[in-house]
Structure 1
Amino acid sequence: MMMRVTQQMLHNNTLNQLNRNLSRLNEAQEQVSTGRSINRPSDNPAGTNLALKLRSELAANEQYQQNADSALSWMEMTDGAMNQASNVLHRANELATQAANGTLSDQDREAISKEVDELREQLIDVSNTKFRGKYIFNGEKTDQIPFPTKGVSNAEISELDNTSLQTQVSGAAAIEYSLSAKEVFIGNNGGENVFNVLETLSANLKNNDQSAISDSLKKVEASVDQVLNAWTSLGARQERMEAASSRLKDANTNLQSLQSKTEDADIAEAVMKLKQEEAVYQASLSATARIIQPSLMDFLR
């Protein structure tokens, strides 16, 4: 038995097809206006899942990149401070070597002792270096000045934090980026207290004690080596941090490229599709206008 096709059924089918064409046109317009092939999960469920994973990985990578860049800035400030400390101690070494010469007069050694005192003051200032409002040589106690007085007392030393700061550069890797005052200036594990070394050298110069000055010279030389060793350690960490930063930048570029391929629309293709959908929709409107025309029978029903 043949099914009777009514005018109402014809109208409904025509409108449904028209709405489907309009929906495709809207989708094409949205892709062109946003530049994205995925604007909602229903556009591409598998692509959406991949895009969300890429976004999450990219966000984590960008945070690791910020961590590395921040640590590198801290290291650059520390490197500058270590350079100053090294210069101070090298100058002290020159003065001690000069003072160990038996031909100098009492007045000469007195003048040298005054410069040594100034060098000690300068070294204390270096040890209290701040970066972005934080003291760089006091471990996790970045809000506390390592040596608040020029005396460098045992009480001050006991309050120093020997913790080495570290930052996360991946899900499984963290890199240390700081040096402590104990490591550099006080001498861990039987090292030299460089402030005491300079203070003793100055006193020996004032006393014009030739033998004691020679002993102080050895202490100054050991202090120079101590600072250089810490500086070298910082350089090795800095090199590792720079390598991590470079790797993270490359990873960010690759992730952004993958994200673009997953989410972004091919604009040329999207515009062509938009033109096609516009043509289809206009044709649908024209056809619908001819099909859905009121007749006398429509009014009589």
Structure 2
Amino acid sequence: MTMKINTNTEALFGQRILGNTKNETDTILKRIASGLRINQASDDAAGFGISERLRYLTSGFEQAQSNIQDATSALQVAEGGLSNVSDSLQRIRELTVQASNDTLTDTDRGAIQGEIDQLVQEIDRQTSSTQFNGQPLLSGQFASGTGAFDVQLGPNEGESLAINIEKVNSSTLGVAGLNVSTRENASNALSSIDTAISSVSSTRANIGANTNRLESTNTYVGVARENTLSALSQIRDADMAQQSTLLAISQIKNQTGASALIQANLNSQSALKLLGS
């Protein structure tokens, strides 16, 4: 058996194995502690790049869902305001039909006119107070040809929805200055009121259609987010059972390497004793 004493190659080999095993064990422990297979780009350069893109997409989907929920809430506020306007218009129509009756006196019509005037003022109050996050929704700033209520529906450019909400008040509805002081005036006013009711109904229908679209889109975005998270998990997350097995193997290798290093040092010491005897 050849025995070299200048260079203990067996000990050097054992030290190298122990160093490699330590690095391997550190990596496994880091994965177990973080729950991630990829903690830095050096762990898997290609996988790291893909996981980062998926992570950005996931964040974008989450923000898109928040945007959609805010937009849905805003449309619900607008619908609530328009519902009140519809109720006021219906009451104005009832009073106008009543004022068209020849059995009423001028005094009676004067009382009806007073209530109608109050209802018209209430319409303007309702529309001006219909706001979301400090923004008036029925003021016309989102009307066709003026602007739009833009909602970002996804994480990428171009994934947006422009919603128009027409301006609504007593003037745009054609009921400002409504006059029912005579039977003829009351009869003539009915067509204006019917047009106003139809206009509000059309605006409400448009809001309802956009609300339904947002709800559908929110469901789609939620599914897309879940699928992206699943793909991210497959690439980035650590298999804890596998890592536990690898840790046990690494610990055995570490113990074996340590034993080999001890034996190599003992062999070297034995050689020195033989030379000195």
Do both proteins adopt the same fold according to a TM-score greater than 0.5, normalized to the shorter chain?
yes
Partner of 2:166: 180
What CA distance in whole angstroms lies between the structure 1 residues aligned with 2:258 and 2:108? 105
- Conserved? CA contact 1:54–1:259, under 8 Å: yes
What CA distance in whole angstroms lies between the structure 2 residues aligned with 1:32 and 1:18? 21
Q: What is the CA distance between 1:262 and its match in structure 2?
A: 1.0
Q: What is the CA distance between 1:251 and its match in structure 2?
A: 0.5
What CA distance in whole angstroms lies between the structure 2 residues aligned with 1:210 and 1:86? 24
- Conserved? CA contact 2:78–2:131, under 8 Å: no
- The amino acid of 2:172's aligned partner reads N
Pairwise CA RMSD of aligned residues? 2.6
1:246 and 2:219 correspond: yes
1:20 and 2:20 correspond: yes
Partner of 2:249: 276
Q: TM-score, normalised by structure 1?
A: 0.81
Question: Which structure carries more relative contact order (alpha carbon 8 Å, separation 6+)?
Answer: 2
Greater Cα offset, 249-258 or 66-75: 66-75
- Per-residue Cα deviation, 1:64-102 (whole angstroms, up to 9, x for no partner): 222212211111111111111111111111111121122
Partner of 1:101: 101
What CA distance in whole angstroms lies between the structure 2 residues aligned with 1:51 and 1:31? 16
In structure 1, stretches of 5+ residues that fail to align are 142-160, 187-191
What CA distance in whole angstroms lies between the structure 1 residues aligned with 2:5 and 2:31? 38
Q: Report SS of the residue matched to 2:39.
A: coil
- The amino acid of 2:269's aligned partner reads S
What CA distance in whole angstroms lies between the structure 2 residues aligned with 1:287 and 1:185? 90
Partner of 2:178: 200
Q: Report SS of the residue matched to 1:51.
A: helix
- Per-residue Cα deviation, 1:171-208 (whole angstroms, up to 9, x for no partner): 33322335132xx337xxxxx733x524223xx33xxx
- The amino acid of 2:110's aligned partner reads E
What CA distance in whole angstroms lies between the structure 1 residues aligned with 2:102 and 2:162? 46
What CA distance in whole angstroms lies between the structure 2 residues aligned with 1:63 and 1:139? 27
- The amino acid of 1:135's aligned partner reads P
Identity between Structure 1 and Structure 2 (%)? 23
Number of residue pairs matched by the alignment: 268
- Conserved? CA contact 1:185–1:193, under 8 Å: yes
In structure 2, stretches of 5+ residues that fail to align are none
- The amino acid of 2:11's aligned partner reads H
Partner of 1:266: 239
- Per-residue Cα deviation, 1:140-163 (whole angstroms, up to 9, x for no partner): 59xxxxxxxxxxxxxxxxxxx932
